[in-house]
Amino acid sequence: MWYDAAIVALALALTNLRATIFFSLYPDPSSLLGRAWLEIAFWLLTTLTAGHALARHHLVADWLSIWRRNWPLAVFVLLSAVSAIWSIAPVVTLFRASELLCATLIASYVGTRYRRPDQLLTILFWFGVALLVVSLVIVFGLPNVGQRLAGRTYRSWRGFYWHKNHLGSIVALVNIVFLCRAIIAFQRLRRVSRSDAALYGLSLVVLYFAYSVTGYFLSLVMHGAVAGVWLWIKVGHRLGRRYYYAALGAALAGLAVILSHLGAILGVFDRSPTLSGRVDLWSYLWHDVMPESLWWGRGFGATWTFESFRVTAQRHVRWASQVIIADNGFLDILLHVGLVGFVVFATVLTIAMVRSCRYALAGKTLADAFPLLIVLYACIGNMAFSLFVETELFVWWLVVVVLFMTTPLPPSRARAERPRAHGRDAPSGASPCSWFGAGSGGPIRRVESPRSRISPRRRAPATDGRWS
């Protein structure tokens, strides 16, 4: 339905807005009629629309039930807003906390409304299509905007994002979305989805020309994760405990080899062991900046808005340009809300990881493992770049959607929820309209397997759009 599509489209646009070339990374909130508060007006409009949709779909009870089970999330959002009291820039903190609140509320609606991972895959599929099309148009139509000099002889693509590493990091995610959809379609229909395969190849091309080592590394890790999940689904039921211990040992040994030869590995990508100066920056922030406000932070979103602070950091780490972010999402959270806020944030992330693991173990399909892949992407992607509510809210939005999607409803409410299909019956989410027809409270479309068509007596009869 167009109503729900508008909510999702606006949410995706707003969560990426500040990271694009069309807006400012750090808009000035001192003017009431400036860009910052105009953005908040759109956030509020979208949030109110989502609230109306929540009531219209009779999901308020489910939504409140899931919020009660995820109370650390509310604590983190509240702490971010309250940090305006001790913030070094209170107005900036109020602006950024307003963004965080609206994004979290909209994500909680989406996670409550669409409780099947294939629906999230479909949403991200269309986001990925828009990302690739608009980025390629800007790269070739406005080369001085969409490309930046990255070396002496080549130019990197940044598309409509502010930096090539941001494009590389997001494309690494949509690349995995296309891959998962292609695998699911092949398992269900025994043929390759041409659209997903073509978009997967195109996303690899865009990732390559971004010349982002951050994106390359993230893409390799996520491909390894998808391969690991797929193998576990296929042969996991045959494996004993000793195989898992052997796999853990092999992973630790591989990590030790990588760390011991880190300089040589990074040299392949023309990078230094300091990760292009990131290690020096992290050391400066940890030893010189953070002790000033270790427990409660400097105020949510306030630190990097000061040009004087960026210039000082540039001088300490001897970079050629200003330091814009900490290039580590976890470190930015520490700067914002201190150790107290970081513990709450880590609790939210841990809950999302545990819930998504349980969801994957219960479903044992690649679609059911996709929420786990999202949380893994958020953790790995923020190790060498800041994707946690710093220059954008997209990754945070996805984590909250996954958190609400994988939180089980109470038994009294769960009986009204459609059971998930598994195996070949798991829908691939190929239709763009499938986001809105199969969520909680929506009409049900059953994807029939060949076996169910042969044996119609095995199918559960449906009444009033719900499973009987």
Q: What does 377-420 look like in DSSP terms, one character per residue? A: HHHHHTSSS--SSSS-SHHHHHHHHHHHHHSPPPHHHHTTSPPP
What's residue 416's pLDDT?
Answer: 53
Structure tokens at 245: 């211990």
Give alpha helix (H) positions in 86-212. 90-113, 117-141, 143-146, 164-189, 194-209
DSSP letter at 114 equals: -
The tokens 């880590």 sit on which residue?
A: 346
C-alpha separations of 97 from 27, 286, 336 in Å:
14, 24, 11
Which is nearest to 100 in space by CA: 316, 313, 344?
A: 344
Q: Is residue 467 part of a domain?
A: no
Distance of alpha carbon 458 from alpha carbon 468, whole angstroms: 13
DSSP letter at 270 equals: T
Whether pTM > 0.75 for this model: the answer is: yes
Q: Is 138 exposed, middle or buried (0-12, 13-18, 19+ CB in 10 A)?
A: buried
Main-chain phi, psi angles of 460, to 5 degrees: -80, 130
Cβ atoms within 10 Å, residue 424: 17
Distance of alpha carbon 449 from alpha carbon 458, whole angstroms: 11
Main-chain phi, psi angles of 3, to 5 degrees: -60, -50
Distance of alpha carbon 180 from alpha carbon 159, whole angstroms: 24
Structure tokens at 130: 């828009």
Q: Residue 253 belongs to what domain range?
A: 239-270
Structure tokens at 190: 């025994």
Structure tokens at 147: 């490309």
Q: Is residue 73 part of a domain?
A: no
Cβ atoms within 10 Å, residue 443: 12
Q: Is residue 140 part of a domain?
A: no
Structure tokens at 203: 């996303």
Q: Is residue 35 part of a domain?
A: no
Structural domain count of the chain: 1
Amino acid sitting at position 314:
Q
Residues in the chain, pLDDT under 50: 418-468
Contact 356, 399 (CB under 8 A): no
**Cα dihedral sign, 175-181-186-187:** positive
Q: Coil, helix or strand for 467?
A: strand
Contact 399, 349 (CB under 8 A): yes
Which is nearest to 56 in space by CA: 9, 105, 8, 1?
A: 1
Q: Coil, helix or strand for 149?
A: strand
Q: Is 116 exposed, middle or buried (0-12, 13-18, 19+ CB in 10 A)?
A: buried
Q: Is residue 260 part of a domain?
A: yes
Q: Coil, helix or strand for 150?
A: coil
Q: Is residue 403 part of a domain?
A: no
Structure tokens at 118: 């294939």
Length of the chain: 468
Cβ atoms within 10 Å, residue 284: 18
Q: Coil, helix or strand for 148?
A: strand
Distance of alpha carbon 125 from alpha carbon 430, whole angstroms: 9
Q: Is residue 38 part of a domain?
A: no
Q: Is residue 265 part of a domain?
A: yes
Q: How far is CA 449 from the centre of its chain?
A: 32
Q: Is 457 exposed, middle or buried (0-12, 13-18, 19+ CB in 10 A)?
A: exposed
